[in-house]
A and B are shown apart, each in its own frame.
Chain A
Amino acid sequence: MAGQMRKALTYKLVLLGDAGVGKTAIAVQFVKGQFNPFLESTIGASFMNQTVTLPDETLIKFQIWDTAGQERFHSLAPMYYRGAQAAIVVYDITNRNSFEKAKEWIKELQQQGDPNVVVAFVGNKVDMPEARKIQPSEGESYASENGLFFIETSAKTAENVSELFMKIAKQLPSIQRQKDITSGPSNPGVKPGVGAPSKGKGGCCG
C-alpha cells in the first residue's frame, strides 16, 4: 500500500559523536552530495532532511538532527535524541579519543534511549588511511558485541555514506514490522501518513 501511494514514512535520525569527527560532513554529503572542508562547527543542532527509496518502493524520509559534539553539551543531548528512531554514532578513525567518546554515546543510548532505536556505529575519514589509529576490526567487534551495525565511511569521498543511510532505512521498517508482529493488533504500527506512531512525531509530508 505504501508503495502505491508513494507516501513517505518519516523517521527522526540523530547524529552523535565527538566534536570534529565529521557528523555534519556526513549529513551534508548524504543530503547534498557535497563535501565542504570549511563547514562551520555546529552549535546546538542543525537540521536536514532527505528521502530515500527502498527496493520495495517504500519511501523513507529522514529528519536528520546533526548535533554539536563537545562534551559540554552532553547534558543537552537527550533533547536531541529523544524520539529518534535511528542514531548514527560517529568516530574519527584517526583519533582514538573520539572512538572512546563514541562508545560512551552508545552506552548512553542503550541506557536512556528507546531499545528499538537503530544504531549505526560509524568510523569516518577512511580517506586518511595513513593516519588511521582505529582498525576496522576493532570497531567491528565493538559493534557486534553491542548489536549495532558497523560501517566505515568517508564524508570526503562519499564512500559508504549513502550505503550507511540505506542500511538504516532498511532496518527501520523491519523493526516496525517486527513490532507489529510481536505486539499484535493492539499496536497500530506504522501507517502511511501517520509516521512513527509511538512518538507522535513525524507526520506526512509526502
Chain B
Amino acid sequence: MTDAIAGKAAAPAKRRVRRASSDRPWTFYVLAGFFAFYVIALYGPMISIYILSFQDVRGGLVFPMRGFSLHWFNELIMQTRTGDVSGSFRRSIYLAIAVTVITVVFSFMAGMAFRRRFRGDTIVFYLMIGSLVAPGLVLGIGIGLGFDMAGIPTNWFTSALGAQLSWTLPFGILIMFAVMSRLNGDWEEAARDLGASPAQTIRLVILPILAPGLIAVALFGFTLSYDEFARTLQTAGAQNTLPLEIWSMTLNVTSPALYALGTVSTVISFLIIGVSLGSIILLQRRNAARMNISE
C-alpha cells in the first residue's frame, strides 16, 4: 500500500529530473534529424553535379571526379555539340522579366478586386484555379493550335509569354490573397479621411505596405517563368528558351557539359535573386539611415 503510493510519487519526480537535463521533448530530436535528412537529400544531388561539372576532358556522368578544369564550361560556350545556349539564356531572362512585371501588376489588381465580393467573383476564382491546374502541355498544344488556326506564328515573346502567364498569374494571385489578408481596411479609410485620392492611397499607403508581398510575387513569377517547360514546349516557336535547351541536351548530351549548364543556370538564378534581394535590403538600409540622420 505505502509502496504503491511511494511509487506513484516517485514517477513525476523522475520525469522532472529528466526534463531538467534537457527541456526539449524527444520529438524535437526526431524531427530535427528528419529535417536534417531532408535538407541533405535536397541539396546533396545538386551539389554533386556542381562538383562534377568541374571535371576535365576525361570526365563522366558519375563519381569519381576525374581531374579539375573548366573544360565543360568552355564546351558549353563554344557550342560545339550543343545548341544555342547563350541565346536561349538571353531569351529566358527577357521572357522572365516580362512575365514578372506583368504578373506583379495583374496579380496586384486582381488581389485588390478579390478583397471585396463582387458579382461573378466565384467564377473568376475558379477560372483562375482551372488555369493553375490545367496540364501545361494541354494548354501549350491548345495555344499552339490556336495560333496556327489564326495564322499567327508562335513565338517565345507572344504565345509563350501568354502560356506562362496562364500559370504564373494564378500563383501570384494566391500569394496576393495571403498577403492582402493582412491589409487592414482602416488604412485606406484613414487615407481617404485625410484627403488622399484613390490613386494617392494606392501609391502612398497600399503599395508601400504591400511591398514585401509584391517582391515575393515577383520572385515567384521570375522563377516560375525562368524554369517553365511544359507550357512553353509547344508555344516557343522556332527559338528555344533555356529549359527547352536543357531538355534537348538531356536527351542528346551525355557529357558533363550538361552539368556545367546546370551550374551556370543555378549561378545565374542566384545572381538575379541575390541582386534583387540585395538592392531591396540596400534601399531599406538607406531609408533607415536617412531616418537616423534626421533624428
- Binding between chains A and B: no
Chain B residues within 8 Å of A, Cβ to Cβ: none
